[in-house]
């Protein structure tokens, strides 16, 4: 590993835009709070009713505005409050990931994870894991100058 | 007479049964007093970690119901209150209660928990089953409703010794009141529902199982050990602090036990043990789990499949033996269980932990309540009811629901609770709506023009303020565009803070409000209501979470937490700026129901709805009413079926509000809740239009003709149980009867258990023995599933000499004309049994017509062809499609009393809609901009509710007329997921309240820009 990257990874806090569905992953985030599962302060959560609301437009504008990564979360497959919204999310996610390469971004900058309302600890775990991965990658090449 | 009826119901017991009954009644136009003896509602279910067979998190599915109950304008919560007397008669009871002192002013306490922190006295925590300490001032569990502290006077140092007083000192709201006294109240109610729940068996007296050993725990303790908010935060561990490697579960502790005079089966323990073993293995796949059992009673919907998965995929071991004791090594403390192997040899096995699967028992308080209410009990201490009236006690106007009436699982409890609500509703229907309260609000202000945002940042005591620099966040908020005022509050959710928010809106002429505090999932409605009370549309309010999502998870990094809180507020302000007022649409509705199916469930559903004074159309495809029950000649309790069926048929036919159409089929359905239209065709092919507001599917099930199983069809003396039922009423001559269970179920083709066959077989075996005790009856079974009170039939049959022989699915019995050969699993012998009559217990199967009915109503079927309810635990008779309900064997095989309870439940759920004056659509739905719509139909395909349809319209553009397709949304069906908005290629479709510009505003404001960039 290049030394500068490690240097960055210690001090630098990435900016990650996170989409949570109201019924599971947002509740999971609440659960993480209730359980006091400590996490890096990298995530900024945007609540939607269902993960299937998340549009590629939202994801790509997040990157253009300066996101180092985008994390979409929803209910476990089969548990979506709207029957099968998250299956649609999964399809869109795969499509968006394939687009990332075109933009010159690493695949890992877009992530998808299913977190149930009861998985507060998992929520924290996911935040830690994704943050660490993005730290390793360093700031996004699309991040405009002067943006924090 | 009618004027004497009180339109209120007293529901005693705040567990899931009481809560469900209360919600149904409150939503059907009645006032409800929900009386709970503990400090919070939620009951036993709140203590559970997960629920079987779906492993749903219990608290997560329960909490919304608790919050709904506490907020409902028609429900008055009386927690920490005991019933002293129930006087009067049906329609006009007086219920006297004692409201015990909490020593905390309910109107002032915000539940912040500052007092808990400062309370020096630790005591054993009942909610955690004694595995963890709590303080003398406490909140039972984190999601307790109401969120009000209680001082336990026995342990409080101030109340017992006059010293300490810490809680009063730290409470900034002055809520502690050591001088508070018990209060006596007297309530008027037309009906009473007893839902006092059960008491888990206390294994203290069973010394052979070493209940005092720290690693011998009860199943309830084990639930807490598994739970994330439990004593070890969900890290399963032994008393030594190590992770257990081997766990044993001992079944039937305090059930199926003659010696303890617990003769019944508790119905739930097998399944919860299987669930606990599976979850333990999810915590750590290395853990070995062994379940010691007599039979695994996996009789409910999806249970058998869950059990088989546990056995085959999760490798949970099932040992068919009831250990007589648990041994503990006195030096090392290890636990050892001696048990009998299948070959009769004795094995000894060591375990790190032993879980006692304790049964459901009648509670002392339940019995006392029954005594006060003057209702009769069964020998086991449960409230006595009959098969045909499973919710009615012997005292008119007093009903029973849940485990107080006998052991049952959550869905059966919920069904019975709804059923009791239907009964109470029917009794009081002349007074429906007389005591209802509605919240009144001032007219809404117009909000056009520049946004003027008011921001409130909550300290939440030290919960937020201890980690986030709140004043700094407030001054930052003041710098943001369109913010007219920003303030802090110590507790934004408290009653007085609500008043200040209203004043702030008036004083600054605000048209938007942002509160930064805790989670919108629980608190948004509260603030929305305050905004509405100040004349602001509730959708102009936004709640952002800087507690769960910030202060609580960045406790070591206060600076970063403060920065993040600022970001969250900035994102919130930019969102709230773009919010627009939204309105729920009023939809008209009809007030009649369609009941499909005229078996026992359909008949009861129709009758209950009609008794609630709504019209019913009952459609049955056979020429006669009665369904499956026409083939069954005796009930489980030995009475003739006609005893209950004939009077019921009479009542249904005579009821002025019920129209019966026999020999008729429903062939088409259109529309949605409130306004369904359908067509019914009779045997002569005449068709008729029908309209209805709600539908109850009670299409039943049928007995499988077990061709291909156990030589059925090869010899005339091989018959099914229902053929036997008929013979038992005629000339029955057989001398050697062999019954074979699971003839066509619990196999590859039909993996489910048909639930009723074991009880039916035992019932019929007893009938044979009663006719002629010299007849030899053998029952070949895989597992005897005579659950609940029917375990007694099983004991009686054994006492009467019926011989029970266990066979295994890997070595099926061989059936000849006059002989049956079977390998006895338990003794290991090959047996040859003489037989002149062989009776196959064939399962109930879903009728093929379900496949036509399901798509008409857009409702799903399960993999076995039965209708699939929306939530297997808490909504057992509801479909996801609003206004359509199900009950009885259409949902899964079940007994007559269970079908009746479910039928009443479906009726109750239907009445919550029928009693409304109008329907409200949700406001957070999608809308189409027809200008932009290109009619591609992507949205139509993606919509999971069939709420979107394309219609052809005639357009004129540039002087040309042309036809085009445009998408349209039915607001009654749209549930507001937003998937269509994502699918729309032109931006024509957008989800209200989560519009593209609103979400993009948030995305943009995740980031800050340096001066030059700006
Ligand atoms: S509601 Fe959570 S993913 Fe659909």
How is chain A classified by DSSP, letter by letter?
--HHHHHHHHH----EEEEEETTTHHHHHHHHHHTT----TTEEEEEESSGGG--HHHHHHHHHHT-SEEEEEEPPTT--TTSSHHHHHHHHHHHHHHHHHHTT--GGGEEEEE--TT-HHHHHHHHHHHHHHHHHH-S-TTPPTTB-
Size of interface A-B (CB pairs under 8 A): 162
Do residue B521 and residue A30 have CB atoms under 8 angstroms apart?
Answer: yes
What's the confidence (pLDDT) of residue B671? 81
At B375, list the tokens: 């209702």
CA distances (Å), origin B518, targets A72, A75, B492, B566: 22, 21, 9, 15
Q: How far is the CA of A49 from the centre of ligand 1 (A)?
A: 7
Predicted confidence (pLDDT) per residue in B498-513, tens digit? 889 999 999 999 999 9
DSSP assignment letter at B391: T
Q: Ligand 1 within 6 A of A27 CB?
A: no
Element at B78 (helix H, strand E): strand B75-78
For residue B530, give the H/E element and its range.
Answer: helix B520-533
Collect all residues of chain B within an 8 Å Cβ-Cβ radius of residue A54: 982
Q: What is the pLDDT of residue A8?
A: 47
> In sequence order, what are the residues at sequence separation of 6 or more whose Cβ sits closer than 8 angstroms to the Cβ of residue B191?
B9, B10, B90, B91, B93, B397, B398, B399, B423, B424, B427, B428
Write out the two tokens for B480. 């943001």
**Residue A54 domain flag:** yes
pLDDT of residue B195: 98
CB contact under 8 A, B996 and A83: no
Percent of chain B with pLDDT over 70: 99
CATH number for the domain spanning A47: value is 3.40.50
Cis peptide before B105 (omega within 30 of 0): no
Instruction: Indicate the pTM of the whole model.
Output: 0.82
Q: What pLDDT is attached to residue B142?
A: 76
Residue A37 lies in a domain: yes
3-state secondary structure of B579: coil
Does some domain include residue A77?
Answer: yes
pLDDT score for A3? 41
B861-882 burial, b at 16+ Cβ within 10 Å, e below that, comes to: ebebbbbbbbebbbbbbbbbbb
Name the average pLDDT for chain A: 89
Q: Tell me which of A13, A28, A30, A73 to substitute to probe the interface with B (most B C-beta atoms closer than 10 Å).
A: A30
Residue range B340-385, pLDDT digits in tens: 887 788 999 999 999 999 999 999 999 999 999 999 999 999 999 9
Q: What residue numbers bound the domain in which A46 lies?
A: 13-137
DSSP secondary structure string for all residues of B901-944:
HHHHHHHHHHHHHHT-SSEE--SS-EEE-TTT-----HHHHH-T
Please check whether residue A2 lies inside any domain of the structure: no
Atom of ligand 1 nearest to the CA of A89: 3
Ligand 1 centroid distance, CA of B62 (Å): 18
> Please, what are the domains in chain B?
1-99+182-198+362-436 (3.50.50.60), 101-181 (3.30.70), 200-358 (3.50.50.60), 453-578 (3.40.50), 592-701+854-905 (3.50.50.60), 703-845 (3.50.50.60), 926-991 (3.30.70.20)
Cα separation, B214 vs B335, whole angstroms = 10
The number of C-alpha atoms within 13 Å of B79 and in the hemisphere containing its C-beta is 24
Q: What is the pLDDT of residue B919?
A: 87
pLDDT, residue B447, reads 86
**Whole-number pLDDT of residue B462:** 78
In this prediction, residue B832 carries a pLDDT of 96
pLDDT digit string, tens, across residues B588-639: 899 999 999 999 999 999 999 999 999 999 999 999 999 999 999 999 999 9
Residues of B in contact with A39 (CB under 8 A): 553-554
Contact B14, B35 (CB under 8 A): yes
- Using CA atoms of B971, B974, B979, B983 in order, give the dihedral in degrees to the nearest 10: -40
User: pLDDT tens for residues B315-344?
Assistant: 999 999 999 999 998 777 789 999 988 778
Kindly state whether residue A117 falls inside one of the protein's structural domains: yes
Which of B547, B554, B977 minimises the CB distance to A53? B977
The whole-angstrom distance between A20's CA and the closest CA on chain B is 12
Q: How far are the Cα atoms of B163, B228, B340, B366, B547 from residue B321, in angstroms, in the given order?
A: 55, 32, 6, 33, 51
Assess whether pLDDT exceeds 70 at residue B807: yes
Contacts of A146 in chain B (CB under 8 A): 1009-1010, 1012-1013
Cα(A88) to centroid(ligand 1), Å: 10
What is the distance in A from the centroid of ligand 1 to the CA of A122?
17
What is the rounded (10 degree) CA torsion for B454, B455, B460, B466? -150
Q: Which among B157, B183, B27 is positioned nearest to B105, based on CA atoms? A: B183
**Measured in angstroms, how far is the CA atom of residue B977 from the centroid of ligand 1?**
8
pLDDT of residue B1010: 64
Each residue of B379-414: pLDDT tens digit? 999 999 999 999 999 999 999 999 999 999 999 999
In the block, residue with structure tokens 């719509």: B933
Q: How many CB atoms lie within 10 A of CB B548?
A: 24
Q: In sequence order, which ranges of B680-816 are alpha helices (DSSP H)?
A: 721-729, 757-771, 791-799
Mean pLDDT of B943-958: 90
CA of B941 to the centre of ligand 1 (A): 18
Chain A interface includes B978 (CB < 8 A): yes
d(CA B193, CA B93): 12
pLDDT in tens, B745-787: 999 999 999 999 999 999 999 999 999 999 999 999 999 999 9
Which pair of tokens denotes residue B248?
């044993």
- Quick: pLDDT tens for B120-163: 999 999 999 999 999 999 999 877 889 899 999 999 999 999 99
Residue A1 lies in a domain: no
Mean pLDDT of chain B: 94
Question: Which range, A114-118, B77-81, B869-873, has the best average confidence (pLDDT)?
Answer: B77-81
- Residue B595 forms beta bridges with which residues? B618, B696
Residue whose token pair is 């919560």: B77
> Chain B residue with minimal CA distance to A21?
B977
| Residue of B248, B294, B245 lying closest to B270 (CA atoms) | B294
Alpha helix ranges (H) inside B338-486 = 364-373, 410-428, 470-479
Task: Select the residue from B999, B1004, B1013 to test the A interface by mutation, using most A Cβ atoms within 10 A.
Answer: B999
- As a whole number, mean pLDDT of residues B232-243 equals 90
How far apart, in whole angstroms, are the C-alpha atoms of residue B39 and residue B389?
32
pLDDT at B60: 64
pLDDT confidence of residue B596? 98
Residue A80, in any domain of the structure: yes
- To test the ligand 1 pocket, which listed residue (A46, A74, A76) has its Cβ within 8 A of the most ligand atoms? A74
H-helix segments, B666-790: 721-729, 757-771
Three-state secondary structure along B280-347? Answer: HHHHCCCCEEEEEECCCCCCCCCHHHHHHHHHHCCCCEEEECCCCCCEECCCCCCEEEEEECCCCCEE
d(CA B582, CA B992): 8
Residue A6 within any structural domain of the chain: no
B971-to-B671, B726, B759, B792, B989 alpha-carbon distances in Å: 12, 52, 47, 52, 14
Question: How many structural domains does chain A have?
Answer: 1
> Are the Cβ atoms of A38 and B556 closer than 8 angstroms?
yes
- Which of B57, B943, B982 to probe the A interface (max A CBs under 10 A)? B982
B852-904 per-position pLDDT tens digit: 999 888 788 888 999 989 888 999 999 877 899 999 999 999 999 999 999 99
Please state, in angstroms and as integers, the Cα–Cα distance from residue B393 to each residue in B364, B574, B753, following that order. 18, 58, 31
Shortest CA gap B1004–chain A (Å): 6
At A7, the pLDDT band (50, 70, 90 cuts) reads: very low
Per the listing, tokens 């699993």 go with B825
Q: Is the pLDDT of residue B994 over 70?
A: yes
Distances (CA, A) of B427 to B10, B29, B753: 13, 13, 37
What per-residue confidence (pLDDT) applies to A5? 43
Residues facing residue B838 across a β-bridge:
B718, B738
* Any A CB within 8 A of B1002 CB: yes
Segment B683-701 mean pLDDT: 97
Residues of chain B with C-beta less than 8 angstroms from the C-beta of A37? 553
How does DSSP assign B865-897, residue by residue? SSB--SBTTTBTTB-SSTTEEE-GGGTS---HH
Alpha-carbon distance of B608 to B422, in angstroms, equals 7
CA B966 to chain centre: 40
The answer to whether the Cβ–Cβ distance between A30 and B1003 falls below 8 Å is: no
């Amino acid at each position: 590993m290049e030394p500068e990257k490690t240097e960055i990874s210690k001090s630098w806090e990435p900016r990650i835009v996170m989409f949570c569905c109201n019924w599971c992953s947002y509740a999971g985030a609440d659960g993480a709070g209730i359980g006091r599962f400590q996490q890096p302060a990298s995530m900024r959560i945007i609540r939607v009713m269902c993960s299937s609301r998340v549009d590629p437009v939202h994801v790509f504008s997040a990157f253009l505005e300066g996101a180092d990564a985008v994390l979409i979360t929803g209910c476990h497959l089969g548990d979506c409050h709207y029957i099968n919204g998250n299956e649609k999310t999964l399809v869109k996610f795969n499509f968006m990931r394939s687009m990332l390469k075109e933009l010159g971004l690493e695949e890992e900058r877009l992530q998808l994870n299913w977190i149930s309302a009861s998985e507060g600890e998992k929520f924290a775990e996911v935040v830690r894991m994704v943050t660490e991965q993005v730290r390793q990658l360093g700031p996004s090449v699309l991040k405009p100058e002067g943006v924090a | 007479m009618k004027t004497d009826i009180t339109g209120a119901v007293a529901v005693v017991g705040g567990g899931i049964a009481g809560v469900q009954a209360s919600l149904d009644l409150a939503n059907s136009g009645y006032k409800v007093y929900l009386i709970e003896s503990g400090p919070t509602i939620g009951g036993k279910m709140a203590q559970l970690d997960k629920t079987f067979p779906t492993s749903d998190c219990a608290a997560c599915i329960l909490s919304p119901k608790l919050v709904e109950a506490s907020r409902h304008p028609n429900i008055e919560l009386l927690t920490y209150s005991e019933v002293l007397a129930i006087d009067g008669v049906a329609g006009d009871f007086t219920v006297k209660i004692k409201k015990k002192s909490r020593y905390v002013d309910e109107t002032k306490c915000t539940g912040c928990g500052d007092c808990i922190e400062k309370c020096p006295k630790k005591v054993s925590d009942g909610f955690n089953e004694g595995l963890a300490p709590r303080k003398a001032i406490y909140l039972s569990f984190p999601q307790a409703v109401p969120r009000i502290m209680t001082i336990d006077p026995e342990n409080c140092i101030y109340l017992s010794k006059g010293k300490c007083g810490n809680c009063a000192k730290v409470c900034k709201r002055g809520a502690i009141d050591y001088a508070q006294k018990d209060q006596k109240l007297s309530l008027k109610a037309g009906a009473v529902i007893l839902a006092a729940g059960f008491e888990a068996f206390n294994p203290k007296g069973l010394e052979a199982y070493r209940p005092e050993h720290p690693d011998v725990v009860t199943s309830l303790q084990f639930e807490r050990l598994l739970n994330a908010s439990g004593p070890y935060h969900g890290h399963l561990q032994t008393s030594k602090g190590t992770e257990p490697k081997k766990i044993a579960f001992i079944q039937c502790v305090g059930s199926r036990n003659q010696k303890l005079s617990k003769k019944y089966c508790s119905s739930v323990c097998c399944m919860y043990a299987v669930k606990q073993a599976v979850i333990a293995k999810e915590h750590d796949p290395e853990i070995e789990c062994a379940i010691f059992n007599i039979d695994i009673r996996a009789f409910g919907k999806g249970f058998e499949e869950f059990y088989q998965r546990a056995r085959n995929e999760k490798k949970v071991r099932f040992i068919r033996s009831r250990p007589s004791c648990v041994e503990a090594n006195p030096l090392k403390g290890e636990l050892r269980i001696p048990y009998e192997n299948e070959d009769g040899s004795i094995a000894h096995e060591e375990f790190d932990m032993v879980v006692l699967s304790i049964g459901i028992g009648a509670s002392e308080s339940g019995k006392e309540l029954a005594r006060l209410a003057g209702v009769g009990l069964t020998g086991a201490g449960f409230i006595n009811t009959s098969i045909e009236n499973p919710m009615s006690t012997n005292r008119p106007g007093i009903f029973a629901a849940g485990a107080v009436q006998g052991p049952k699982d959550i869905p059966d409890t919920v069904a019975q609770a709804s059923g009791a609500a239907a009964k109470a509703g029917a009794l009081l229907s002349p007074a429906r709506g007389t005591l209802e309260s509605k919240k009144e609000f001032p007219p809404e202000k117009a909000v056009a023009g520049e946004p003027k945002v008011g921001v409130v940042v909550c300290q939440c005591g030290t919960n937020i303020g201890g980690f986030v620099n709140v004043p700094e966040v407030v001054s930052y908020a003041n710098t943001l565009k369109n913010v007219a005022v920003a303030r802090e509050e110590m507790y934004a959710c408290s009653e007085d803070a609500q008043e200040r928010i209203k004043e702030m809106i008036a004083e600054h002429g605000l048209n938007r409000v942002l509160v930064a505090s805790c989670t919108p999932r629980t608190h948004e409605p509260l603030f929305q209501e305050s905004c509405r009370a100040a004349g602001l549309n509730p959708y102009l309010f936004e709640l952002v979470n800087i507690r769960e999502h910030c202060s609580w998870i960045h406790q070591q990094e206060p600076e970063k937490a403060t920065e993040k809180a600022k970001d969250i507020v900035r994102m919130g302000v930019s969102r709230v700026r773009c919010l627009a007022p939204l309105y729920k649409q009023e939809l008209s509705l009809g007030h009649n129901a369609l009941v499909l199916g005229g078996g026992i469930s359909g008949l009861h559903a129709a009758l209950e709805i009609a008794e609630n004074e709504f019209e019913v159309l009952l459609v049955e495809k056979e020429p006669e009413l009665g369904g499956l029950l026409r083939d069954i000649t005796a009930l489980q309790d030995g009475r003739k079926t006609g005893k209950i069926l004939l009077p019921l048929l009479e009542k249904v036919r005579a009821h002025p509000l019920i129209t019966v159409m026999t020999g008729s089929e429903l062939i088409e359905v259109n529309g949605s809740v409130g306004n369904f239209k359908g067509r019914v065709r009779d045997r002569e092919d005449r068709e008729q239009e029908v309209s209805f507001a709600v539908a109850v599917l009670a299409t039943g099930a049928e007995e499988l003709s077990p061709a291909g199983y156990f030589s059925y069809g090869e010899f005339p003396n091989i018959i099914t149980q229902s053929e036997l039922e008929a013979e038992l009423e005629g000339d029955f001559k057989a001398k050697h009867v062999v019954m074979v269970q699971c003839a066509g179920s619990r196999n590859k083709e039909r993996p489910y258990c048909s639930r009723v066959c074991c009880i039916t077989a035992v019932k019929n075996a007893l009938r044979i023995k009663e006719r002629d005790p010299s007849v030899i009856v053998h029952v070949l079974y895989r597992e005897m599933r005579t659950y609940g009170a029917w375990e007694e039939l099983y004991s009686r049959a054994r006492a009467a000499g019926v011989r029970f022989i266990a066979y295994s699915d890997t070595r099926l019995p061989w059936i000849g004309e006059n002989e049956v050969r079977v390998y006895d699993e338990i003794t290991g012998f090959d047996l040859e049994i003489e037989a002149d009559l062989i009776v196959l217990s064939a399962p109930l199967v879903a009728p093929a017509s379900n496949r036509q009915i399901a798509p008409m109503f857009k409702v799903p079927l399960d993999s076995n062809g039965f209708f699939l309810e929306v939530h297997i635990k808490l909504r057992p008779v509801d479909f996801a499609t609003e206004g359509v309900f199900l009950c009885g064997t259409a949902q899964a095989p079940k007994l007559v009393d269970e079908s009746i309870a479910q039928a009443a439940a479906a009726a109750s759920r239907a009445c919550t809609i029928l009693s409304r004056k109008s329907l409200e659509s949700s406001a957070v739905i999608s809308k189409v901009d027809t200008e932009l719509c290109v009619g591609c139909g992507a949205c139509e395909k993606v919509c999971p509710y069939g709420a979107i349809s394309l219609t052809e319209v005639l357009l004129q553009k540039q002087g040309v007329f042309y036809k085009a397709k445009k998408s349209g949304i039915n607001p009654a069906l749209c549930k507001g997921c937003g998937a269509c908005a994502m699918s729309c290629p032109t931006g024509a479709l957008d989800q209200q309240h989560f519009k593209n510009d609103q979400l993009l505003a948030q995305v943009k404001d995740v980031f800050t820009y340096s001066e030059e960039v700006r």
